[in-house]
Amino acid sequence: MSLLVIGGDVVTMDAAGLVIPEGAVAVSGDRIVAVGPSAELRSRFTADETIEAGGQVILPGLVNAHTHAPMVLYRGLADDLALMDWLNHYIFPGEAKTVSPEFVRAGTRLAAFEMIESGTTTFADMYYFEDDIADVTRAAGLRAVLGQSIIRFPVPDAATPAAGLERAEAFIAKWRTDPLVTPAVAPHSAYTLDSETLKAARALASRYDVPLLIHLAETKDEVQIVQQAHRRSPADYLESLGVWTGRSLAAHAVWLDDADMAMLARRGVGLAHNPESNMKLASGVAAVPAWLRRGIRAGLGTDGAASNNDLDMFEATRVAALLQKVATGNPRALPAREALELATRRGAEALGLGDRIGSLEPGKQADLIAVAMDGPRQTPMFDPLSHLVYVTRGGDVSTTIVAGRVLMRNRRVLTLDRAAVLSEARLMAERVRAAVRTAAPSARKGSRP
């Protein structure tokens, strides 16, 4: 074997819910070869590299089903606002003045560092200059579904939606065979694009058999805008345009009715729940238990760090579980196992990657993490799944591995230079600060810089 991770409790997250006390995972190249008791795997295999994980929990790498990686550079720029105010008066104007390939690379390196440190091994992204994001992601060693964004107004990498579609097609052609990067088309939403552009985005995704990523029914305002314009819910309007006829992932989906959910389940659309962002922007509470009852492929995301304000998927998992309990008045709503499934196996399925990642099983990609469980906060541990959801934080992750490559060992990230990443991010933050200072007073009100 090329790698043996051994001695920890293995939480496989397979369909049967197998947990192996004092277990091990054997890896050859980029794939898992065996999962079982440590004693058994020690007797069967020798390895080029062995990671001793005693006192830890070994589990699949976490899947962040929706984020905007470079937006870590807007972390804390504007807080305590509703979505439309936040977007139109702070984020969109700020992006117009600051986003460039250099900015996107710096932000993605910072995001990648944060994700590696906190146990995320796969993320789904929607942003601009996605080719630059892909370059940085590949170098950092992470796995990703990356969507080139398309929106109706001029943005830093495309003056028109047509130019955005052209850029998306070039991006897909370049990256479609990469083992770590899955390119995608990312029309922003039903309310920021016209019907012809939405149809063209679907046609482009279908032509290359890549995913389509889109925001959906995030706020009541969005629902009202679409209903007034088209006399349909956002989900039904997109259905009328044929948007759901191929591989699709919709983020947020807070305001769905029963008919919407039934249709999305029938179409096999993946949904990405973003509890922290939805709470912070007061967007609402997505009916995740109802999604699961209907068989919808559901995952979990952080959204961008500008509205979260971090990329810690363990925090997102805990918040998701707690939010459903208080929203429904049912302490059994979204129990620990289901919440962790959203962040692993179900999230992979929502992205269309369930046959490759999301659980620790022979034949799947070797994307796994080890989490320390020997501190005062984690003592005692009666149930590793409970601890992973209700106790664990991103800083507890000791080891992160993607496709058999060790990206972090003993809390030391191996694929990125910490000092260089932070220095570059601080330089870009000064540019953001300067841009905000030159913005109109109405766009600066309440901002932190």
Q: Answer with the residue of higher pLDDT: 362 or 447.
A: 362
- What average pLDDT does this structure show over 135-146? 98
Q: Assign 439 a pLDDT band (cuts: 50, 70, 90).
A: low
On average, the pLDDT of the chain sits at 95
| Mean pLDDT along residues 39-68 | 97
Lowest mean pLDDT: which of 30-39, 70-79, 230-239, 382-391? 70-79
The least confident of 39-43, 251-255, 397-401, 427-431 is 427-431
Q: What is the DSSP letter of 231?
A: S
Q: Given this model, what pLDDT does residue 81 score?
A: 86
Q: Please determine, for residue 446, whether its predicted confidence score (pLDDT) is greater than 90.
A: no
Question: What is the full DSSP assignment across 134-199?
Answer: HHHHHHHT-EEEEEEEE-SS-BTTBSSHHHHHHHHHHHHHHHTT-SSEEEEEEE--TTSS-HHHHH
Residue 35, Cα to own-chain centre: how many angstroms?
Answer: 26
| Identity of residue 385 | L
Q: Which amino acid is at 182?
A: T
Domains of the chain with CATH codes: 3-60+365-410 (2.30.40.10), 62-350 (3.20.20.140)
pLDDT for 312-347, tens place per residue? 999 999 999 999 999 999 999 999 999 999 999 999
How many Cβ atoms sit within 10 Å of the Cβ of residue 309?
Answer: 19
When pLDDT is averaged across residues 223-239 and rounded to a whole number, the result is 97
The 10s digit of each residue's pLDDT in 4-53 is: 999 999 999 999 999 999 999 999 999 999 999 999 999 999 999 999 99
Pick 69 or 433 by higher pLDDT: 69
Whether pLDDT at 107 is above 90:
yes
69-98 per-position pLDDT tens digit: 999 999 988 888 888 888 888 888 888 889
State yes or no: pLDDT of 253 exceeds 90.
Answer: yes
Torsion of CA 127, 129, 131, 133, to 10 degrees: -60
What is the full DSSP assignment across 62-89?
A: EEEEEE-GGGGGGTTSS-S--HHHHIII
pLDDT, mean of residues 195-213: 98
Residue 234 C-beta-side C-alpha neighbours within 13 Å: 25
The predicted pLDDT at position 89 comes to: 85
In this prediction, residue 438 has a pLDDT band, given cuts at 50, 70 and 90, of: low
Least Cα distance to 235 among 176, 180, 155, 296 occurs for 296
% of the chain surpassing 90 pLDDT: 91
pLDDT at 449 over 80: no
Q: Which helix (H) or strand (E) holds 45?
A: none
Cβ proximity of 24 and 42 under 8 Å? yes
Residues 282-297 pLDDT 10s: 999 999 999 999 999 9
Q: What is the pTM of this model?
A: 0.95
